[in-house]
Chain A
């Protein structure tokens, strides 16, 4: 865990040198500060690195909760419909601002992309929970999540087809973006992270029993219902906050718990602590790659996480196949 923390600090330091300027210019800026260089280094690059860490941490936390709670290594933070709900709400928000196409929903424009994403993510999760009639049946919950994701995704696509003007703005949301993470976003994300991570660690004591199966957990006296409600609420809040600030960054929530499990043997509680730290470092690294590869332009960060995450999972599969 210490290595993840050290990695985060190291990457935050490196992030001061990665942007639209050359390494030498960045060094000069550090040596002899001026108004512009101060703004770039301390108001843009550093909060962006901190914000990326926090978004990654929230997704890592969401991934660890989802994979442990559903006992499924493919579970990820978006499976309860938060991403598709947020995407639909952002589309409606952009349309409400841009055209008079959707009458009666003009107020959505006033929410802004961030507000709409949060409301949409929360609404997507609520819809999933309503369809699955609560949180007690894992299979129902997953199925409802898939249905919500498909239906809301289809509605989003339909609206995007009707208004190509918002296509680019939607793509940056759908592919994730860390470009506009400033100190304001970082402060908000830090608050949500604290609100989610501390109770999650406290609740995670019961999760080890859950890995033995629901019946066993129940027979051990575990209050399964309350545990599920609590953890799902935290998962929802963490994901909604991350999506609202950085769009839909794929793979981090899925990969972070795997990375932790592959490197050390951990119990559920340790996973809940380590996966956010790992997710933070993963997204920080992806953010650096996204700003560096084609500078001064940049790659959407979701493309980087998908490539890195995909490559890692394939490697994992091969390694397992060899072992067997």
Chain B
């Protein structure tokens, strides 16, 4: 099943790549996540990115110079921090975007922001950015759009290699252990299910998720669920970690009792949670901690 999915993903990427090659000289026609077909007579020179993972993708493709503004949360690479900031998807600063005079605005699925920007005559292109498969798909699309499909192909290959390497290293490090993991996204408590991006990362590293897939990507849990599942490892923000022992019944959980906790500072957490080109870095951080604390 996985092999079929991987093969079809690569076929799709290849098809997009070939389409890109064929059209390299002429106009580029691409379909965005909202199924809108957009035609670029020439690669856009001025780009506004309203999603951190897309900002990172543009820069990893060596085209950082084309960015003229980003959303407030794009903070990598360091050079984008000095660019004008145009808010977030819920509070797009339209004036800031307009002033940047972009040829295209890259954003996640956000109908309100898109409609507002399009009503002002701006060209918008939407991306799905939730899963591991979206990373390669988005890099390929951005590569085609910017007229650098070859670089996108090699970036994707590089990412895939690093991810495979990190996963293999993690499995070696875990040496047959398959820790039962609870990843807490927020203190609701909201957990990351197997269907979420983080869930995919954990699976790749050979860890087992305490959440059942039918609970959805980020369910709000009855805290009792975690106590009953008794995870070996808990991954949680550094500020919540010291309080785990005070939650009712949680001192009985193996991970809490034996201090098998992973916490990441914000800059590392970004790489873990963003489905973008730095996924191997995030995966490595997860793998290192799992290898270190797993029983």
Contacts and interface: CB of A to CB of B under 8 A. Distances in A.
A297 B219 contact: yes
**Secondary structure call for the B interface:** loop
Interface in A284-298: 291, 295-298
B91 A161 contact: yes
Contacts of A296: 212, 215, 221-222, 224-225
B189 interface: yes
Contact of B222 (A109, A184, A291): A291
A7 to B, nearest CB: 23
B186 A169 contact: yes
A295 B222 contact: yes
Interface in B186-244: 186-190, 212, 215-216, 218-225, 227-228, 230, 237, 239, 243
A183 B248 contact: yes
A40 B222 contact: no
Interface string A198-210: 0000000000000
Contacts of B219: 297
A179 B249 contact: no
Contacts of B228: 20-21, 36, 40
Interface range for A:
35 or more
B78 to A, nearest CB: 16
Interface range for B:
35 or more
B247 interface: yes
B237 A179 contact: no
B266 A179 contact: no
B252 interface: yes
A149 B184 CA distance: 31
Contacts of B223: 44, 179-180
A161 B85 CA distance: 14
B243 A112 contact: yes
A175 to B, nearest CB: 9
B246 interface: yes
A168 B188 contact: yes
**Secondary structure call for the A interface:** helix
B248 A109 contact: no
B95 interface: no
A213 B237 CA distance: 54
A21 B249 CA distance: 16
Given A36-B252, A168-B188, 17 more contacts: A36-B227, A39-B249, A44-B249, A98-B266, A161-B88, A164-B73, A168-B185, A169-B188, A179-B223, A291-B222, A296-B212, A296-B215, A296-B221, A297-B216, A297-B221, A298-B220, A299-B220
Interface of B: 72-73, 87-88, 90-91, 185-190, 212, 215-216, 218-225, 227-228, 230, 237, 239, 243, 246-249, 252, 266
Interface of A: 19-21, 35-36, 39-40, 43-45, 47-48, 97-99, 109, 112-113, 161-162, 164, 166, 168-169, 171-172, 177, 179-184, 291, 295-300
26 contacts: A20-B224, A36-B228, A39-B252, A40-B227, A43-B248, A43-B249, A44-B223, A45-B224, A112-B243, A113-B187, A164-B73, A168-B185, A168-B186, A168-B190, A168-B218, A172-B190, A172-B220, A181-B248, A182-B247, A182-B248, A297-B215, A297-B221, A297-B225, A298-B220, A298-B221, A299-B220
